[in-house]
Protein backbone atom coordinates (compact mmCIF):
# COMPACT_ATOMS: atom_id res chain seq x y z
CA UNK A 1 0.00 0.00 0.00
CA UNK A 2 1.15 3.59 -0.66
CA UNK A 3 0.73 5.55 2.54
CA UNK A 4 1.25 9.22 3.44
CA UNK A 5 1.81 10.55 6.95
CA UNK A 6 1.34 14.28 7.30
CA UNK A 7 3.63 15.64 10.04
CA UNK A 8 6.61 14.07 11.77
CA UNK A 9 5.85 14.24 15.50
CA UNK A 10 5.09 11.79 18.29
CA UNK A 11 2.15 10.08 16.54
CA UNK A 12 4.06 9.63 13.27
CA UNK A 13 6.98 8.19 15.24
CA UNK A 14 4.74 5.61 16.96
CA UNK A 15 3.15 4.74 13.62
CA UNK A 16 6.47 4.19 11.80
CA UNK A 17 7.88 2.24 14.75
CA UNK A 18 4.97 -0.22 14.53
CA UNK A 19 5.45 -0.63 10.75
CA UNK A 20 9.24 -0.90 10.76
CA UNK A 21 9.07 -4.36 9.26
CA UNK A 22 6.18 -3.88 6.86
CA UNK A 23 6.29 -3.61 3.06
CA UNK A 24 4.09 -0.55 2.79
CA UNK A 25 5.59 2.40 0.94
CA UNK A 26 5.46 5.17 3.57
CA UNK A 27 5.96 8.85 2.72
CA UNK A 28 6.34 11.36 5.56
CA UNK A 29 5.58 15.00 4.73
CA UNK A 30 6.86 17.51 7.28
CA UNK A 31 6.53 21.26 6.93
CA UNK A 32 9.68 22.10 8.95
CA UNK A 33 12.96 22.71 7.15
CA UNK A 34 14.75 19.70 8.65
CA UNK A 35 14.99 17.54 11.76
CA UNK A 36 16.90 20.29 13.63
CA UNK A 37 14.22 22.89 13.00
CA UNK A 38 12.81 24.48 16.16
CA UNK A 39 9.35 24.38 14.62
CA UNK A 40 9.31 20.60 14.40
CA UNK A 41 6.79 18.78 16.58
CA UNK A 42 5.64 19.51 20.12
CA UNK A 43 8.56 17.32 21.22
CA UNK A 44 11.10 20.06 21.58
CA UNK A 45 10.35 21.45 25.05
CA UNK A 46 10.55 19.72 28.41
CA UNK A 47 9.87 16.13 27.33
CA UNK A 48 8.07 14.73 30.31
CA UNK A 49 6.78 11.27 29.55
CA UNK A 50 4.21 9.76 31.82
CA UNK A 51 2.44 6.48 32.20
CA UNK A 52 -1.08 6.91 33.51
CA UNK A 53 -4.62 5.81 32.86
CA UNK A 54 -5.96 9.09 34.23
CA UNK A 55 -4.38 11.67 31.91
CA UNK A 56 -2.70 12.25 28.60
CA UNK A 57 -5.66 11.70 26.32
CA UNK A 58 -9.26 10.65 25.92
CA UNK A 59 -8.61 7.19 24.54
CA UNK A 60 -7.72 3.99 26.28
CA UNK A 61 -4.09 3.05 25.86
CA UNK A 62 -3.05 -0.06 27.68
CA UNK A 63 -0.51 0.62 30.46
CA UNK A 64 1.88 -1.95 28.97
CA UNK A 65 1.81 -0.17 25.62
CA UNK A 66 2.42 3.16 27.39
CA UNK A 67 5.43 1.61 29.15
CA UNK A 68 6.67 0.26 25.83
CA UNK A 69 6.42 3.75 24.29
CA UNK A 70 8.32 5.33 27.19
CA UNK A 71 11.03 2.66 26.85
CA UNK A 72 11.27 3.43 23.14
CA UNK A 73 11.84 7.15 23.85
CA UNK A 74 14.31 6.49 26.64
CA UNK A 75 16.40 4.24 24.41
CA UNK A 76 17.04 7.26 22.20
CA UNK A 77 18.48 9.26 25.14
CA UNK A 78 22.27 9.31 25.52
CA UNK A 79 23.21 6.99 28.40
CA UNK A 80 19.46 6.67 29.09
CA UNK A 81 19.85 9.53 31.58
CA UNK A 82 16.40 10.75 32.71
CA UNK A 83 14.77 12.01 35.92
CA UNK A 84 12.04 9.73 37.24
CA UNK A 85 9.14 10.04 39.68
CA UNK A 86 5.94 8.36 40.86
CA UNK A 87 3.06 10.55 41.82
CA UNK A 88 0.94 9.55 44.79
CA UNK A 89 2.10 5.97 45.15
CA UNK A 90 3.15 7.13 48.65
CA UNK A 91 0.02 6.87 50.82
CA UNK A 92 1.13 9.70 53.12
CA UNK A 93 1.00 12.26 50.29
CA UNK A 94 -2.13 10.75 48.79
CA UNK A 95 -3.98 11.05 52.10
CA UNK A 96 -2.85 14.59 52.88
CA UNK A 97 -4.29 15.86 49.58
CA UNK A 98 -7.37 13.67 49.68
CA UNK A 99 -8.32 14.87 53.17
CA UNK A 100 -8.51 18.45 51.94
CA UNK A 101 -10.79 17.64 49.03
CA UNK A 102 -8.22 17.11 46.26
CA UNK A 103 -8.27 14.23 43.83
CA UNK A 104 -4.67 13.01 43.48
CA UNK A 105 -3.79 11.63 40.02
CA UNK A 106 -1.48 8.63 40.03
CA UNK A 107 1.18 8.21 37.36
CA UNK A 108 4.85 7.47 36.67
CA UNK A 109 7.06 10.21 35.19
CA UNK A 110 10.21 10.23 33.13
CA UNK A 111 11.70 13.64 32.44
CA UNK A 112 14.06 13.90 29.46
CA UNK A 113 14.63 17.68 29.59
CA UNK A 114 14.56 20.31 26.87
CA UNK A 115 18.33 20.13 26.41
CA UNK A 116 18.24 16.40 25.53
CA UNK A 117 15.21 16.39 23.26
CA UNK A 118 16.83 17.60 20.05
CA UNK A 119 19.27 14.71 20.07
CA UNK A 120 16.53 12.22 20.92
CA UNK A 121 14.49 13.29 17.92
CA UNK A 122 17.58 13.19 15.74
CA UNK A 123 18.50 9.63 16.87
CA UNK A 124 14.99 8.38 16.12
CA UNK A 125 15.00 10.06 12.71
CA UNK A 126 18.41 8.61 11.82
CA UNK A 127 17.14 5.11 12.66
CA UNK A 128 13.98 5.53 10.60
CA UNK A 129 15.92 6.97 7.68
CA UNK A 130 17.71 3.66 7.29
CA UNK A 131 14.40 1.91 6.54
CA UNK A 132 14.10 1.42 2.79
CA UNK A 133 10.31 1.69 2.70
CA UNK A 134 10.15 5.01 4.61
CA UNK A 135 10.74 8.25 2.67
CA UNK A 136 11.07 11.65 4.32
CA UNK A 137 10.05 14.89 2.61
CA UNK A 138 10.93 17.98 4.64
CA UNK A 139 9.79 21.52 3.81
CA UNK A 140 6.56 20.03 2.52
CA UNK A 141 3.64 21.86 4.02
CA UNK A 142 0.47 20.02 3.06
CA UNK A 143 -2.31 22.47 2.26
CA UNK A 144 -4.96 20.24 0.81
CA UNK A 145 -6.34 16.74 1.32
CA UNK A 146 -9.22 15.30 -0.64
CA UNK A 147 -10.88 11.94 -0.54
CA UNK A 148 -11.33 10.66 -4.12
CA UNK A 149 -13.27 7.38 -4.25
CA UNK A 150 -11.08 4.85 -2.44
CA UNK A 151 -7.91 7.01 -2.69
CA UNK A 152 -6.74 10.24 -1.09
CA UNK A 153 -5.24 13.14 -3.00
CA UNK A 154 -2.53 15.16 -1.24
CA UNK A 155 -1.90 18.73 -2.40
CA UNK A 156 -4.10 18.01 -5.43
CA UNK A 157 -1.42 15.91 -7.16
CA UNK A 158 -0.13 12.96 -5.18
CA UNK A 159 -2.43 9.93 -4.81
CA UNK A 160 -2.26 7.55 -1.83
CA UNK A 161 -4.17 4.45 -0.70
CA UNK A 162 -4.23 5.79 2.83
CA UNK A 163 -3.39 9.12 4.45
CA UNK A 164 -2.68 9.57 8.16
CA UNK A 165 -2.95 13.16 9.32
CA UNK A 166 -0.61 13.64 12.31
CA UNK A 167 -0.10 17.39 12.33
CA UNK A 168 -0.49 17.98 16.09
CA UNK A 169 -1.82 21.31 17.26
CA UNK A 170 0.37 23.42 15.03
CA UNK A 171 -1.41 21.87 12.04
CA UNK A 172 -4.86 23.13 13.05
CA UNK A 173 -5.07 25.10 9.76
CA UNK A 174 -4.99 21.92 7.69
CA UNK A 175 -7.42 20.09 9.99
CA UNK A 176 -9.81 23.05 9.84
CA UNK A 177 -9.72 22.94 6.03
CA UNK A 178 -10.45 19.20 6.02
CA UNK A 179 -13.36 19.47 8.43
CA UNK A 180 -14.78 22.42 6.53
CA UNK A 181 -14.97 20.09 3.55
CA UNK A 182 -16.12 17.08 5.59
CA UNK A 183 -18.00 18.54 8.63
CA UNK A 184 -19.35 15.08 9.46
CA UNK A 185 -15.85 14.26 10.78
CA UNK A 186 -16.39 16.40 13.91
CA UNK A 187 -17.51 14.52 16.99
CA UNK A 188 -17.13 17.15 19.70
CA UNK A 189 -15.70 20.64 20.22
CA UNK A 190 -16.80 22.41 23.37
CA UNK A 191 -13.83 22.43 25.74
CA UNK A 192 -10.95 24.78 26.53
CA UNK A 193 -8.59 25.00 29.53
CA UNK A 194 -7.97 28.53 30.82
CA UNK A 195 -5.64 29.37 33.65
CA UNK A 196 -2.36 30.74 34.86
CA UNK A 197 1.26 29.65 35.22
CA UNK A 198 2.29 29.82 38.87
CA UNK A 199 5.88 30.26 40.04
CA UNK A 200 7.38 29.98 43.50
CA UNK A 201 10.71 29.16 45.15
CA UNK A 202 11.75 25.50 44.97
CA UNK A 203 11.99 25.12 48.74
CA UNK A 204 8.22 25.47 49.21
CA UNK A 205 7.53 22.36 47.13
CA UNK A 206 10.90 20.68 47.67
CA UNK A 207 9.49 17.54 49.34
CA UNK A 208 6.85 17.04 46.66
CA UNK A 209 9.35 17.62 43.85
CA UNK A 210 11.76 15.12 45.38
CA UNK A 211 9.08 12.55 46.06
CA UNK A 212 7.22 12.63 42.74
CA UNK A 213 8.75 15.26 40.41
CA UNK A 214 5.27 16.20 39.18
CA UNK A 215 2.31 16.42 41.52
CA UNK A 216 -0.97 16.28 39.67
CA UNK A 217 -4.16 17.02 41.55
CA UNK A 218 -7.70 17.94 40.57
CA UNK A 219 -10.17 19.93 42.64
CA UNK A 220 -13.86 20.70 42.30
CA UNK A 221 -13.89 24.40 43.18
CA UNK A 222 -16.79 26.18 44.83
CA UNK A 223 -17.64 27.77 41.45
CA UNK A 224 -18.43 24.27 40.14
CA UNK A 225 -15.45 24.28 37.78
CA UNK A 226 -12.86 21.52 37.88
CA UNK A 227 -9.36 22.95 38.48
CA UNK A 228 -6.09 21.04 38.17
CA UNK A 229 -2.34 21.38 38.28
CA UNK A 230 -0.54 20.71 35.04
CA UNK A 231 3.08 20.48 33.89
CA UNK A 232 5.08 20.98 37.09
CA UNK A 233 8.68 22.04 36.45
CA UNK A 234 11.02 21.77 39.45
CA UNK A 235 13.96 24.20 39.13
CA UNK A 236 12.42 25.14 35.79
CA UNK A 237 11.79 28.15 33.60
CA UNK A 238 8.71 30.02 32.42
CA UNK A 239 8.64 30.72 28.69
CA UNK A 240 6.22 32.24 26.21
CA UNK A 241 4.64 30.35 23.35
CA UNK A 242 3.85 32.21 20.15
CA UNK A 243 0.70 31.15 18.31
CA UNK A 244 1.18 33.65 15.49
CA UNK A 245 -1.56 36.10 16.42
CA UNK A 246 -1.24 35.79 20.21
CA UNK A 247 1.22 34.73 22.91
CA UNK A 248 0.66 32.50 25.93
CA UNK A 249 2.84 31.25 28.79
CA UNK A 250 4.25 27.80 29.31
CA UNK A 251 6.94 26.18 31.44
CA UNK A 252 9.75 23.69 31.03
CA UNK A 253 12.83 22.32 32.77
CA UNK A 254 16.25 21.27 31.53
CA UNK A 255 18.18 18.18 32.43
CA UNK A 256 21.28 20.23 33.32
CA UNK A 257 20.68 24.00 33.53
CA UNK A 258 18.45 24.64 36.55
CA UNK A 259 16.77 27.66 38.20
CA UNK A 260 15.76 28.06 41.88
CA UNK A 261 12.03 28.25 41.12
CA UNK A 262 9.31 25.70 40.45
CA UNK A 263 6.50 26.52 38.03
CA UNK A 264 3.26 24.75 37.18
CA UNK A 265 -0.02 25.60 35.49
CA UNK A 266 -3.32 25.93 37.33
CA UNK A 267 -5.99 25.22 34.74
CA UNK A 268 -9.77 25.49 34.77
CA UNK A 269 -11.69 23.42 32.27
CA UNK A 270 -14.45 25.42 30.63
CA UNK A 271 -17.00 23.24 28.87
CA UNK A 272 -19.82 25.17 27.28
CA UNK A 273 -22.97 23.93 25.63
CA UNK A 274 -24.90 24.73 22.44
CA UNK A 275 -24.93 27.04 20.54
CA UNK A 276 -21.29 27.45 21.57
CA UNK A 277 -18.99 25.70 19.14
CA UNK A 278 -15.80 27.74 19.07
CA UNK A 279 -13.57 26.97 22.09
CA UNK A 280 -10.46 28.01 20.15
CA UNK A 281 -12.06 31.38 19.33
CA UNK A 282 -13.08 31.87 22.97
CA UNK A 283 -9.60 31.03 24.33
CA UNK A 284 -7.81 33.06 21.65
CA UNK A 285 -9.85 36.18 22.40
CA UNK A 286 -8.96 35.98 26.10
CA UNK A 287 -5.30 35.48 25.18
CA UNK A 288 -5.40 38.46 22.79
CA UNK A 289 -7.05 40.63 25.45
CA UNK A 290 -4.23 39.73 27.88
CA UNK A 291 -1.66 40.56 25.18
CA UNK A 292 -3.35 43.92 24.47
CA UNK A 293 -2.98 44.83 28.15
CA UNK A 294 0.62 43.66 28.28
CA UNK A 295 1.71 45.18 24.97
CA UNK A 296 2.31 43.27 21.78
CA UNK A 297 3.74 39.74 22.17
CA UNK A 298 3.93 40.06 25.95
CA UNK A 299 2.18 38.34 28.83
CA UNK A 300 1.01 39.63 32.22
CA UNK A 301 2.94 39.03 35.44
CA UNK A 302 1.33 39.67 38.83
CA UNK A 303 1.98 38.73 42.44
CA UNK A 304 -0.52 36.29 43.92
CA UNK A 305 -1.69 38.87 46.50
CA UNK A 306 -2.45 41.43 43.78
CA UNK A 307 -4.09 38.75 41.64
CA UNK A 308 -6.46 38.05 44.57
CA UNK A 309 -7.17 41.73 45.20
CA UNK A 310 -7.36 42.76 41.54
CA UNK A 311 -4.60 45.29 41.91
CA UNK A 312 -1.91 46.05 39.38
CA UNK A 313 1.53 44.79 40.43
CA UNK A 314 4.28 47.39 40.26
CA UNK A 315 7.02 45.80 42.37
CA UNK A 316 8.11 42.28 43.21
CA UNK A 317 9.45 41.09 46.54
CA UNK A 318 11.26 37.80 47.21
CA UNK A 319 10.29 35.74 44.18
CA UNK A 320 11.92 36.80 40.91
CA UNK A 321 10.61 35.61 37.54
CA UNK A 322 12.50 33.10 35.41
CA UNK A 323 10.72 34.46 32.33
CA UNK A 324 12.83 36.84 30.23
CA UNK A 325 12.17 40.41 31.41
CA UNK A 326 11.32 41.52 27.86
CA UNK A 327 8.51 38.97 27.62
CA UNK A 328 6.16 40.33 30.32
CA UNK A 329 4.58 43.44 31.77
CA UNK A 330 3.54 43.67 35.40
CA UNK A 331 -0.22 44.20 35.40
CA UNK A 332 -3.59 42.83 36.49
CA UNK A 333 -4.89 39.55 35.05
CA UNK A 334 -8.38 40.40 36.35
CA UNK A 335 -8.79 42.88 33.49
CA UNK A 336 -8.65 40.05 30.95
CA UNK A 337 -10.08 36.94 32.62
CA UNK A 338 -13.73 36.10 33.40
CA UNK A 339 -14.54 36.32 37.12
CA UNK A 340 -15.53 32.67 37.45
CA UNK A 341 -12.11 31.53 36.22
CA UNK A 342 -10.27 33.85 38.63
CA UNK A 343 -12.43 32.73 41.56
CA UNK A 344 -11.84 29.07 40.71
CA UNK A 345 -8.06 29.58 40.63
CA UNK A 346 -8.01 31.48 43.93
CA UNK A 347 -10.19 28.85 45.59
CA UNK A 348 -7.79 26.16 44.34
CA UNK A 349 -4.63 27.90 45.58
CA UNK A 350 -6.13 28.82 48.98
CA UNK A 351 -7.09 25.20 49.56
CA UNK A 352 -3.73 23.97 48.35
CA UNK A 353 -2.15 26.18 51.03
CA UNK A 354 -3.71 23.90 53.64
CA UNK A 355 -1.72 20.98 52.27
CA UNK A 356 1.43 22.84 51.17
CA UNK A 357 2.15 25.85 53.41
CA UNK A 358 3.69 28.71 51.43
CA UNK A 359 1.83 27.92 48.19
CA UNK A 360 -0.38 30.98 48.72
CA UNK A 361 2.44 33.37 49.75
CA UNK A 362 1.56 36.91 48.64
CA UNK A 363 4.74 37.36 46.59
CA UNK A 364 4.46 34.13 44.57
CA UNK A 365 4.06 34.85 40.88
CA UNK A 366 1.09 34.51 38.53
CA UNK A 367 1.54 34.64 34.74
CA UNK A 368 -1.27 34.80 32.16
CA UNK A 369 -2.58 33.80 29.72
CA UNK A 370 -1.99 30.06 30.05
CA UNK A 371 -4.40 28.30 27.73
CA UNK A 372 -4.62 24.70 26.56
CA UNK A 373 -6.70 24.10 23.49
CA UNK A 374 -8.40 20.81 22.79
CA UNK A 375 -8.53 19.83 19.16
CA UNK A 376 -11.90 18.88 17.72
CA UNK A 377 -12.60 15.23 18.45
CA UNK A 378 -12.55 13.53 15.05
CA UNK A 379 -14.58 10.51 14.07
CA UNK A 380 -11.94 8.16 12.72
CA UNK A 381 -14.51 5.60 11.56
CA UNK A 382 -15.89 7.94 8.92
CA UNK A 383 -13.31 7.28 6.21
CA UNK A 384 -11.38 4.09 5.64
CA UNK A 385 -8.64 5.78 3.66
CA UNK A 386 -8.24 9.00 5.73
CA UNK A 387 -7.34 8.83 9.42
CA UNK A 388 -6.23 11.29 12.10
CA UNK A 389 -3.78 10.37 14.81
CA UNK A 390 -2.17 12.10 17.80
CA UNK A 391 -3.24 15.50 19.11
CA UNK A 392 -4.95 16.65 15.90
CA UNK A 393 -7.47 13.81 16.29
CA UNK A 394 -8.60 15.27 19.63
CA UNK A 395 -7.91 11.89 21.25
CA UNK A 396 -4.47 12.66 22.77
CA UNK A 397 -2.71 15.48 24.61
CA UNK A 398 0.72 14.06 25.43
CA UNK A 399 3.81 12.47 23.98
CA UNK A 400 3.09 9.02 25.44
CA UNK A 401 -0.53 8.97 24.27
CA UNK A 402 0.23 10.43 20.82
CA UNK A 403 3.04 7.89 20.27
CA UNK A 404 0.77 5.10 21.52
CA UNK A 405 -2.09 6.24 19.27
CA UNK A 406 0.20 6.22 16.23
CA UNK A 407 1.53 2.80 17.22
CA UNK A 408 -1.99 1.35 17.54
CA UNK A 409 -3.02 2.84 14.17
CA UNK A 410 0.01 1.20 12.55
CA UNK A 411 -0.80 -2.16 14.13
CA UNK A 412 -4.40 -1.97 12.87
CA UNK A 413 -3.10 -1.64 9.34
CA UNK A 414 -1.18 -4.92 9.30
Ligand X SMILES: Cc1cc2nc3c(=O)[nH]c(=O)nc-3n(C[C@H](O)[C@H](O)[C@H](O)COP(=O)(O)OP(=O)(O)OC[C@H]3O[C@@H](n4cnc5c(N)ncnc54)[C@H](O)[C@@H]3O)c2cc1C
Residue 82 binds ligand X (CB under 6 A): no
Residues contacting 4, CB < 8 A, separation 6+: 26, 27, 28, 29, 152, 154, 158, 160, 162, 163, 164
d(CA 390, CA 166): 6
Which segment (155-163, 303-311, 314-322, 396-404) binds ligand X by CB under 6 A?
396-404
Instruction: Using CB under 6 A, count the residues that bind ligand X.
Output: 38
Which of residues 100 and 141 has its CB atom nearest to ligand X in the complex? 141
Instruction: Name the minimum Å distance from CB 137 to ligand X.
Output: 9
Cα separation values, 29 from 166, 198, 234, Å:
10, 37, 36
Which segment (129-137, 169-177, 283-291, 324-332) binds ligand X by CB under 6 A?
169-177
What residues numbered 2-21 form the site for ligand X, per CB under 6 A?
6-12
d(CA 379, CA 117): 32
Binding string, residues 233-262; x marks residues near ligand X by CB under 6 A = --------x--------x------------
Residue 402 binds ligand X (CB under 6 A): yes
What residues numbered 34-63 form the site for ligand X, per CB under 6 A?
39-43, 45-48
Which of residues 96 and 146 has its CB atom nearest to ligand X in the complex? 146
Q: DSSP for 42-89? A: STTS--EEEE-SSSSBSS---HHHHHHHHHHHHHTSGGG--EEEEES-
Which of residues 282 and 374 has its CB atom nearest to ligand X in the complex? 374
22, burial (CB in 10 Å: exposed 0-12, middle 13-18, buried 19+): middle
Residue 380 binds ligand X (CB under 6 A): no
Residue 30 binds ligand X (CB under 6 A): yes
Which residues contribute to the site for ligand X (CB under 6 A)?
6-12, 29-32, 39-43, 45-48, 141-142, 166-168, 170-171, 174, 241, 250, 390-392, 397-400, 402
Amino acid sequence: MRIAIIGFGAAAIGFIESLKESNHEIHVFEKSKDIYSTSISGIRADGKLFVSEAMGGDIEIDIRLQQQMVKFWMEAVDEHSVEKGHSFTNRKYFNSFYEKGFLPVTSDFYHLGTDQLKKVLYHIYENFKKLKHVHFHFQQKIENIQVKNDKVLVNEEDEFDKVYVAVGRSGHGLVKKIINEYPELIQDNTKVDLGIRYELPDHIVEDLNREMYEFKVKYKSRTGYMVRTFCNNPSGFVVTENYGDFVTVNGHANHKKKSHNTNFAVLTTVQLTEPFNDPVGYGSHIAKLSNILAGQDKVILQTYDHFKRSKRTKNLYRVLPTLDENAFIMGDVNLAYPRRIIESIIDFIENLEEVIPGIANPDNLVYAPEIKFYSNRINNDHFDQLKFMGDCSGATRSITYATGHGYMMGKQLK
